[in-house]
A and B are shown apart, each in its own frame.
Chain A
Amino acid sequence: MTRPTRTKSSLINTNKKLSFVFNGKKYEGFQGDTLASALLANDVKLIARSFKYHRPRGIFTSGSHEPNALVEIIHDDYNEPNSKATTVELYEGLVAKSQNCWPSLKYDLMSINDKFSKFIGAGFYYKTFMWPSFFWEKVYEPVIRKAAGLGKLSKNKNNKNSEKGFLYCDLLIIGSGPSGLISAYIAGLSGIKVIIVEEDYVFGGSLNNEIFKISNMSPQAWVQSILKEIRKLSNVRCIENTSVIGMFDHGVFGAIQKLKESKIEQIFWKIVSKKALLCSGSLERLIPFQNNDLPGIMLSGSIRSYLNRWGVNNFDKVLLFTNNDDTYVTALDLISNGINLIGVVDTRDNPRIFDPKIKVFKSSQIVSAKGKLYLKGVDIVNKVGELTHLKCDYLGISGGWNPNIHLSCHTGVRPEWNEKIYAFVAGKTNVSTHLKAVGSANGKFSLYECILDAEKQVLEILSDLEMKPKKYSLPKIKEQSFEIDPFWFVKIGSQRKWVDLQNDVTVKDIEMAYAENFRSVEHLKRYTTLGMGTDQGKTSNVTGLAILASLSNKSIPDVGTTVFRPPYIPLSIEALVGSSIGKNFKPTRLTPTHNWARDNGASFTETGLWLRAEWYSQKNEYHWRMSVDREVNSVRNSVGFCDVSTLGKIDIQGKDALEFVNKVYCNGFAKLPVGKVRYGLMLREDGIVMDDGTTARMSENHFIMTTTTVNAESVYRHLEFCHQCLWPEMDVHLISTTDAWAQIAIAGPKSRKIISKIVDKQFDVSNKNFPFMACKEITICGGVLARLFRISFSGELAYELSIPTQYASSLVSYLMEIGKDENIIPYGTEALGVMRIEKGHAAGAELNGTISAQNLNMGKMVSNKKDSIGMVLSKREGLNTLDGLRLVGLKPIKANHQLVSGSHLFNSSDTITPINDLGYITSSCYSPTLKSSIALGFLKNGNSRHGDYLKASNPILKTEVIAEVCNPIFVDPNGDRLRE
């Protein structure tokens, strides 16, 4: 059924019909509708079932503070749970359904919970499901989760994208009601950079809900006229469909913008603003009485919105219940639309008379709402206790208004109580926030006050920013007053009176919490769940506090308040992540020879951000081990090369460079001659090994340090710390040159042959004139600048050749060409790893953040004759026990028994228990050189156990291998090959 007639409203286009589906049934609405307004216009009152008791619930508000009308929006590829019907803009073909009900909304079986409500009040779960404890995870929680709760995720991947962006301005205006528009207008004219954001899909805020006149115009026409002025200003940016979700330190705000008809679904903006005005208006609060949650009961101001903004006029027999003046505006608007207004139940003895046509039930309260799935009528009681039954279909409640100060609390500023309006207002902002509440968000509830407040505060901001306002004109508005009676809840009656509709918290629950001594507001909140959920208690919090105050005979400010935390509205994790998902989660760094490697059969592995060639498959190789074994054998017997550009390279220069290097490495560097490289061990200040690498002295005051790939950034940062924070007086300069220089390792007994072919003639690379650990700046291939280091990670005669990055790819192609006779091959990280394990070199797996120099058998390297980072604490007793862990080699008794990294070591007769644990395996591989599986590991008292047989046990993989402890240097322990 559709009702084509609507009251005329400029915000509804009745010429543009939109069809939509709710719970499987087709309806029609109009352009400009929300899902909620279209459902109301179609007489759909029952929208949802409540969270805990599965009570029937309808639309309660007309905005993002909606506690009840949460629905699932069904898209082709995914579902959006917990969408507020009150904020979803209607579109052609929208499909939505109710959540938290089974088998249907009308006959929800779980509503049996409601019958047992006496037993499942606040704290029920905590008290009941205590034991047996393992039952919680296995039985209670799954059952409860199924019964309670909100929407469900479809778990499908959607095809829409999220993005992130930054915006900068002088003044951020949050909300585009009267205060926001006036502020944007005055501020915009002055020339400062202004951003005004509106949560709704139309600008105007509360003005869209009203029909009075501003400057002889309808409020909507006035909004359009001032917007036109504002949009003429190029320094003002107006963004609709955007919610500011949080205020963070130093004027940083988060905002989520929803886009329509775009590939990008949403943008998360980080807005940096010098000043900000909170023009977020105020939110109406409810009054708890018996059964005040029936569909048909709404906030008074929301009835007015549906009537005026959306032209919904099928309200029949409307009753209003209030403690303040604002409700009479609703009453008058209903009457002028010809709707049958039963009257206004007013708690006050002498409310102002607005219109004699309005029937007012003075000094009265509603004690109970009647009806099963919908409101049918109410019982009211007057001062002398006379009970009257009134039939009605809709009831509008107003318990007063709360300034919408959610954002003002986000930096830890507590709200303050205002006795005049009986509500909390924003606390005085501390200096690290720039936010000021304006207009109705500042407790100025009349349009007259809003405009004056906005003008005053904008002028203050302009003066703070040292800007002068330009000439502007403001609409003339009559002064109005706002009166309210602090009436919080109906005390009469023993049935449930709902305070927090979303979490099914009743007055009784608050009483119980109080009786059980949960009396601090923070405890009350957590015990009853008052104010949690997707609406964050926007309609219920203050009412809950007032009830607690009345129970404890305290004033509301004495009871205190919880503070709001971001986000203002729920937002998906996806929105925060933006496009940084999957491969885009982190940048990928490619080595200078990446494309060459890709074209030559390499497969790649991730090391940190880098993609590195792990091995190069040849035609006949169908298993990676075949490739790796071949690469190792080629290097050990002939020659191979490997791109090691990913190692960190730090250029160190200055008069004090030598002294600096000597202070950051624990071993001695003071006597390192020009033209020589030395292995360096770097400790953290606590004496644990941080990193290792080599440092070459290229000239008197010029050093090149290498770091491990993974620690390149942290070592550089550490060196800058040492320089800037510890020894700023030193003349030393550091720069990371990792990306500027490619580095190619050329290793194997025939590597010198290869090197001699590319090095320009004037440079002598003979063993005599360029021995092991030599370094030199040279030229290759007829003049290309290069740096040659005779260092070896593989244990073979080897060189590392550094060249400007752009030459790397040509160089490796050239190496393949000139190395044909020597059968030169490229090798990957896997072969590199095998050879370093064969050689007993520590790498990332060994430098795991718990290992001392002594553990690596390098204790004697730590010089105690000089100051270096970590030296003093490396001498601590605990790091220097005689039976401590030592790096050892391990060889299984049967060559094909695989040793697994992470296995722990035990004496062969011991049982596998932690107390018998002697150490662990850090790296393992198959050694084609030894034709056996081998490993490195740390073993207690390891150096005196060479030759012993131990169990290497891995309880996770359920493996146990007997292995012999040996020297960690499996290949060429004397290092003869390096020096050949």
Chain B
Amino acid sequence: MIIDHPLLGPRDASEFIYLGDASLLNRPNWDEEKSEDNFYKYLYLRENVAGMHKELWFHQQGDRSWLVISRNTVTHEIFKVELATEFKKNMGKSND
């Protein structure tokens, strides 16, 4: 696999470590009534997507960026690679 790092260009997948679903960016608030249930859902419940999937990769053997990668889980096509920091900031603008 080749991951097109937004700052460093195409890099071999062996430089990266996979974490999982990018929904991990949406950490719930700790001080709400339902926070225990929210954390349970945040940590354990995942969509098992056949198709487009946003996921987190860490450039361990590189610049130590966390990336949000949009990948088709069926074809492995990678559509978009973004810095997690940028992704998170933009996410704040549109949704939260």
Contact = CB atoms under 8 A, between A and B. Distances in A.
A249 B75 CA distance: 9
B77 A431 contact: yes
B30 A728 contact: no
Interface in B37-81: 39-40, 42-43, 56, 58, 60, 64-66, 72, 74-78
Interface string B10-47: 00100001010000110111110001100110110000
B39 A432 contact: no
Contact of B76 (A249, A272, A876): A249
Which of under 10, 10 to 19, 20 to 34, or 35 or more describes the interface residues of B?
35 or more
Contact of A728 (B12, B17, B42, B88): B88
Contacts of B25: 725-726
A726 B39 CA distance: 14
Interface string A695-721: 000000000000000000100010011
Nearest to B56: A725
- Interface core residue of A250, A717, A729, A875 (most chain B CB under 10 Å): A250
A665 to B, nearest CB: 14
Given A685-B42, A721-B56, 18 more contacts: A249-B2, A250-B78, A252-B1, A411-B76, A432-B72, A432-B78, A717-B17, A720-B58, A720-B64, A721-B58, A724-B83, A724-B85, A725-B56, A725-B66, A725-B84, A726-B27, A726-B88, A729-B89
The 7 closest A-B pairs by CB, nearest first: A250-B2, A728-B85, A432-B77, A867-B30, A724-B66, A249-B76, A872-B39
A717 B58 CA distance: 8
Nearest to B32: A872
A817 B54 CA distance: 59
A872 B66 contact: no
Contacts of A248: 1
Contacts of A252: 1-2, 12
A726 B58 CA distance: 14
A686 B76 contact: no
A375 B85 CA distance: 73
B72 to A, nearest CB: 8
Contact of B75 (A272, A412, A875): A412
Nearest to B86: A728
Given A250-B2, A272-B12, A873-B40, A724 B77 contact: no
Contacts of B12: 166, 252, 270, 272
Contacts of A251: 2
Given A252-B1, A726-B27, A430 B36 contact: no
A430 B2 contact: no
A725 B88 contact: yes
A724 B7 CA distance: 15
A871 interface: yes
Contacts of B36: 872-873, 875-876
B89 A250 contact: no
B84 A432 contact: no
A583 B18 CA distance: 27
Interface string A713-756: 10001001100111011000000000000000000000000000
A725 B77 contact: no
Contacts of A686: 43
Contacts of A871: 30
A432 B88 CA distance: 27
25 contacts: A249-B76, A250-B2, A250-B76, A250-B78, A272-B2, A430-B75, A430-B77, A431-B75, A713-B60, A717-B58, A720-B58, A721-B66, A724-B65, A724-B66, A724-B85, A724-B88, A725-B25, A725-B56, A725-B84, A726-B25, A728-B84, A867-B31, A872-B30, A873-B43, A876-B36
Interface in A422-438: 430-432
A872 B32 CA distance: 10
A725 B84 CA distance: 6
